[in-house]
Amino acid sequence: MKLPLILVNFKLYEQATGERALKLAKIHEKIAEETGASIAIAVNALDLQKVSESVNLPVFSQHVDPVGFGSYTGRIMPYAVKGLGAYGTLLNHAEYPVEYETLRETVERSREAGLFVIVCADTAEQAEKVASFNPDLVAVEPPELIGGDISVSKAEPEIVENAVRLVGENRVLVGAGVKSAEDVKIALSLGAAGVLLASGITKAEDPYYALLDLVSGLK
């Protein structure tokens, strides 16, 4: 998976689950093919297999647990999502935070299963902490800006700069409030390796053109 990256989290929005998830994934695939942009998506566990089998894109599980085969009712096993076609997993999102020791173990289990691991962090300091667990990328998302109208790139650019300084070049994604090509350009100019977003695409009136606009910010 090349950088810079646009990763779209489908969450559990009505517009991005079930058959609508597949339709939305096809839009992402189409734009990736048309533009050559590096685009990935994160879908819920129930949609993972169908979406993974249907599009030529890196598909991420929105969460996994630090378990292997055994008595783990209700858990999501890294090896299982890998077997369903997942390229990677998203961990420690603000909507599903994980204790540090559990997170460390989950990263290890996920990498053992062959998954590309992206760990979310609320602050630059937390980003430095979780980076020590050796994920592939760290996504910095101040919770108060998630789903808002102002991106972290504009509202608090120092968070991005500090995260890049503490974590390293080409290891930080920027999330929270990202909606436009300008947001993407600013993020990259601050040293980010790409962006993580959700509602800017999933709730857009026209997801195709919203995503096409975002992709133009990669140039």
Q: Are 123 and 160 in contact (CB under 8 A)?
A: no
Q: Are 173 and 7 in contact (CB under 8 A)?
A: yes
Cα–Cα distance between 157 and 167 in angstroms, integer? 15
Cα angle 179, 44, 122; round to 5: 50
Residue 207: name the closest of 46, 15, 38, 48 by CA: 15
Q: Which of 19, 33, 34, 93 is catalytic?
A: 93
Annotated active-site residue 141? The verdict is yes
Annotated active-site residue 28? The verdict is no
Cα–Cα distance between 83 and 135 in angstroms, integer? 20
Q: Which of 128, 141, 169, 205 is catalytic?
A: 141
Which of the residues are catalytic?
93, 141
